[in-house]
Structure 1
């Protein structure tokens, strides 16, 4: 065996390239994307539905969020040292590049018609009907609301938009969808129609992008907490409980149990710190996914954002094995 430095680096490059290609491009089962399509689609549908009763109030001629206000986000305030919008955002993505068809609709009739049409598109995408088309359509619809009134959104809307974008890349309608059922019925041979959808490299690309993005989100959550003394001191959760404007239930009575507050705070810190690293370990993954779901459910009433908690749980489906999903999901 020749162990010269040249051979070592050649082997390193070859094996590294194979590992890279296997990680990003090895064909995989699209059922994971199907699970994400259904869960993310339902959340997008719900978030759009919350606008229904107040369309005119938010986006009409006498809107609470007029276009002039949105355009003003591009401008500096009177204090030159403080900007309404981060400078990098204004420069990298000016207003004219943040498309929203709602900018051109002001009458209540037109708004309602566009709103219903948008919800139909998102509903079709969730059901997996004409998925390649409705996936892009759902992204356009959702971004239109996000761009039209960013101050009406919370942390969940950008996350849903990112997931919708990645679902546009892969065959999210290849399983558990109307498209798949129609394709199966067209097969004359019943044995052939019962076969699962073929593995796809694009499914892997979309799935890996979601996984990497999700781990980076958890990493930033952990870094943000580690940068403040409150979480080091074990009172981070207490600060969340003390925010009366956002919490859904009053847990201020827990001030009588400081050790519980400390334990809860450190548990959140450890969970978000370990998640980006050990979620890639197949042995630790099931335990982390279970802890992840429990932690978000417990935190949701405190942070006052159940949609965000549910979306983060849904996004973690990207790490569930296809074999597990095939045991619990109906397949056409």
Structure 2
């Protein structure tokens, strides 16, 4: 797995978080620890820190636990979705932390393990659960949602302009036989899309698979809960870094962070009351992206956008 996993923008992530982690015992939360790529870099660069790693995927946690064994006395790994960050910290007796990282989206482990069903390029069971021990699968969604509901998922989460055509084709085809494999679904999507559209933009099933993954795992709902909780958990001087990989989650990140950076008053108010002053400041200008060299070495980094803020005052903006 090491050969296929390269943490995205690792040097930049560490560079942004490290100034907040200089004090011995400083706590950093890796809310999506995955295969511990960023966690390993943070522990190596900041030898005095304590790292709390969350992941909903038990397989990823087992891998991370083995990979981080040499730093086991500084690491706490928790099986949890990132929207549970406040509960996890409360359970550990932590009222605030110095750094938090979110590396959103699907992990290399999930993409590269065929039986997880995330990839549209290889045939596998139509699963897509980030936690394969619980919840509905992509097959459940595809085989039970009506045309309107399925089209909504594809249009909103996948930004698929042929959402209704694909949904109609899926519902008609599953009458013959329920969907169970990723290859059969990917083939149907290809046939449902106009021929001229198939020739550009990569695999035509990409947007459908993205939409189903987000729906199955409740990713945007979890993120909507996680971001304010993470921002509230930062100590003064603490920093939050977020890596997003598609426009919906990046827009959500931008809005949540911007709400804490700007004053909580109308823009034309001449004086900002202390209670309405910003509690955060930007550490990045816009969404930072990987260099061409990084994308060439790690194509999965191509869609990444990084945003970061630092807490400058207490209170809730």
Structure with bigger RCO (C-alpha 8 Å, 6+ apart): 1
**TM-score of the pair, normalised by structure 2:** 0.27
Structure with greater helix percent = 1
Structure with greater strand percent = 2
